[in-house]
């Protein structure tokens, strides 16, 4: 079988750093934080009262008011992100190509806000007051479903729900669809919107969220720092248009990067904690290298999962050392969650956008708040601001509850 080459020909971002790609990237490179006090609900009684919210989002800028009322916030993000993506890619879906365009997205939790709203209504007014739109609003596959409705994409329509690895698994699945010739292009990445009372309470109960920096929210997300005390919950969308190389070249598309490798693994160990050795994470990265036909020394840059939790940051550092050996200290590692917070199922989408732009722009985003490095986290986390550097290969990592791991490798486009 002749495998297709797969390139990234479009990007979009809707994040705590900005409501479009350029604003998000500029703020990321400048080292600005998108973390602030929660405004989406009254969090005054919560131990964690900060989040990476998408600010001043207006869904009616992307769809009619009637449709917005029939969507949870995560689906609104998906449609907005897809419309910005197709505009960025200058890509038109027509009756002639619609069946060759897929939508494969990652969502971790789906419509948690919708569940909360209608559960309260059920208790207050009984089952007769439940909207017929409740179920279609909350199910996670409504994100790619709504994107297909709004764009006309009639190819494979799939959701991956694998906790914090959801978006990266979606990107890997999309890569495979084009690689095997099943699609010409795929709208992929991840979306999430779970900054809700139940979402924040649940992660706080797990002792997963930062609670020490409510008065200094921009200092709260501090991957690899000795004073880290948990992640900061975020929301948003990070989408990529993947396209066969021949299609992208035929239409004169801007190519941001090429995807050359993807790997996945499972720790088979614990519901929430990674295996302390990091061997599962290392296997996902090794599998990505194998599929790309690369040696470890080829990787110049890693956008790390780097959640700002004690276990993840130490374990990911161990995994990188385990796989890359003597090359590990020479890899430029970015922990962009220090600025965006943790977007859960959307994390790998947003961070893949950052990985592609890092190669395209020749800029490695810095890591903020790394003021007192953990002695067990002793690699090059680019903590003195963003660096201008031309890299050839970038790896993006995502690791989720249940021990699920994913890695994707991007190659700088030089065509």
Among all chains, which residue has been given the structure tokens 């000795």? 226
User: Is 360 within 8 Å of 388 (Cβ atoms)?
Assistant: no
* Averaged pLDDT for residues 385-398: 98
Residue 342 appears among annotated catalytic residues: yes
Helices of type H across 193-294: 197-205, 245-250, 279-292
- Residue 2: predicted pLDDT: 82
Residue 266 appears among annotated catalytic residues: no
pLDDT one-digit tens code per residue, 67-95: 999 999 999 999 999 999 999 999 999 99
* Dihedral angle of Cα 262, 169, 303, 404, to the nearest 10 degrees: -100
- Residue 415: predicted pLDDT: 77
* Averaged pLDDT for residues 23-49: 98
Residue 373 pLDDT > 90: yes
- Residue 332: predicted pLDDT: 98
The active-site residue, picked from 169, 183, 342, 396, is: 342
CA-based torsion, 360, 91, 169, 16: positive or negative = positive
* Averaged pLDDT for residues 156-164: 98
The active-site residue, picked from 164, 173, 377, 391, is: 164
31: DSSP letter: T
User: Is 193 within 8 Å of 107 (Cβ atoms)?
Assistant: no
* Percentage of the chain exceeding pLDDT 70: 100
- At 388 the three-state DSSP class reads strand
Q: How far apart are CA 39 and CA 32, in angstroms?
A: 19
218: DSSP letter: G
**Record: fold of 6-250:** Peroxisomal Thiolase; Chain A, domain 1 (3.40.47)
* Averaged pLDDT for residues 56-62: 97
Q: How far apart are CA 414 and CA 76, in angstroms?
A: 35
Closest by Cα among 227, 216, 192, 177 to 37: 216
Q: How far apart are CA 385 and CA 31, in angstroms?
A: 7
Q: How far apart are CA 373 and CA 156, in angstroms?
A: 45
CB-based contacts of 84, cutoff 8 Å, min separation 6: 12, 14, 20, 21, 239
CATH superfamily of 261-412: Thiolase/Chalcone synthase (3.40.47.10)
Q: Where in the chain is the domain with CATH 3.40.47.10?
A: 6-250, 261-412
Cα 61 to Cα 24, 56, 175, 378, distances in angstroms: 18, 11, 30, 45
The rounded mean pLDDT for the chain is 97
Q: How far apart are CA 371 and CA 223, in angstroms?
A: 10
- Residue 49: predicted pLDDT: 98
pLDDT class of 23 with cuts at 50, 70, 90: very high
Among all chains, which residue has been given the structure tokens 């960025």? 88
pLDDT one-digit tens code per residue, 175-228: 999 999 999 999 999 999 999 999 999 999 999 999 999 999 999 999 999 999
Among all chains, which residue has been given the structure tokens 């943790």? 342
Please state, as a whole number, how many other Cβ atoms lie within 10 Å of the Cβ of residue 38.
22
* Averaged pLDDT for residues 356-385: 98
- Rounded to an integer, what is the distance from CA 337 to the centroid of its chain? 10
Among all chains, which residue has been given the structure tokens 């709208």? 187
- Residue 98: predicted pLDDT: 98
Residue 216 appears among annotated catalytic residues: no
Tokens representing 241 are 């248009």
Q: Which residues pair with 237 in a beta bridge?
A: 14, 191
* Averaged pLDDT for residues 337-356: 98
Residue 142 pLDDT > 90: yes
pLDDT one-digit tens code per residue, 103-112: 999 999 999 9
- Rounded to an integer, what is the distance from CA 310 to the centroid of its chain? 20
Residue 1 pLDDT > 80: no
The active-site residue, picked from 183, 301, 305, 391, is: 305
* Averaged pLDDT for residues 139-168: 98
């Amino acid at each position: 079988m002749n495998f297709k080459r797969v390139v990234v020909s479009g990007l979009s971002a809707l994040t705590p750093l900005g409501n479009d790609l350029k604003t998000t990237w500029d703020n990321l490179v400048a080292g600005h934080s998108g973390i602030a006090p929660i405004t989406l609900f009254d969090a005054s009684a919560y131990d964690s009262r900060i989040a990476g919210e998408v600010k001043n989002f207006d869904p009616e800028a992307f769809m009619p008011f009637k449709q917005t009322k029939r969507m949870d916030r995560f689906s609104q993000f998906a449609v907005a992100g897809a419309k910005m993506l197709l505009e960025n890619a200058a890509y038109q879906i027509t009756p002639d190509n619609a069946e060759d365009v897929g939508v494969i997205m990652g969502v971790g939790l789906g419509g948690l806000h919708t569940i909360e709203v209608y559960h309260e209504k059920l208790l207050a007014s009984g089952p007769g007051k439940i909207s017929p739109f409740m179920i279609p609003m909350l199910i996670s596959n409504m994100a790619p479903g709504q994107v297909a409705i709004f764009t006309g994409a009639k190819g494979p329509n799939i959701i991956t729900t694998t906790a914090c690895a959801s978006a990266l698994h979606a990107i890997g699945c999309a890569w495979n669809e084009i690689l095997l010739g099943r699609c010409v292009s795929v709208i992929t990445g991840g979306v999430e919107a779970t900054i809700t009372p139940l979402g924040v309470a649940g992660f706080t109960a797990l002792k997963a969220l930062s609670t020490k920096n409510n008065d200094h929210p921009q200092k709260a997300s501090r991957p690899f720092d000795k004073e880290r005390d948990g992640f900061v919950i975020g929301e948003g969308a990070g989408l990529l248009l993947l396209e066969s190389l021949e299609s992208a070249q035929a239409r004169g598309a801007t190519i941001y990067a090429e995807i050359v490798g993807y790997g996945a693994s499972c720790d088979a160990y614990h519901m929430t904690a990674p295996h302390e050795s990091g061997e599962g994470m290392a296997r996902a990265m090794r599998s990505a290298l194998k599929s790309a036909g690369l040696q470890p020394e080829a990787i110049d840059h890693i956008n790390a999962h780097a959640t700002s939790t004690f276990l993840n940051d130490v374990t990911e550092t161990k995994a990188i050392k385990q796989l890359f050996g003597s090359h590990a200290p020479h890899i430029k590692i970015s922990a962009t969650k220090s600025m965006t917070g943790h977007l859960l199922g959307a994390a790998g989408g947003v961070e893949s956008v950052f990985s592609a732009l890092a190669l395209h722009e020749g800029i490695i985003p810095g890591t903020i708040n790394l003021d007192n490095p953990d002695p067990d986290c002793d690699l090059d986390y680019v903590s003195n601001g963003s660096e201008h550097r031309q890299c050839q290969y970038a790896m993006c990592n995502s690791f989720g509850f249940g021990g699920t791991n994913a890695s994707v490798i991007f190659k700088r486009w030089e065509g």
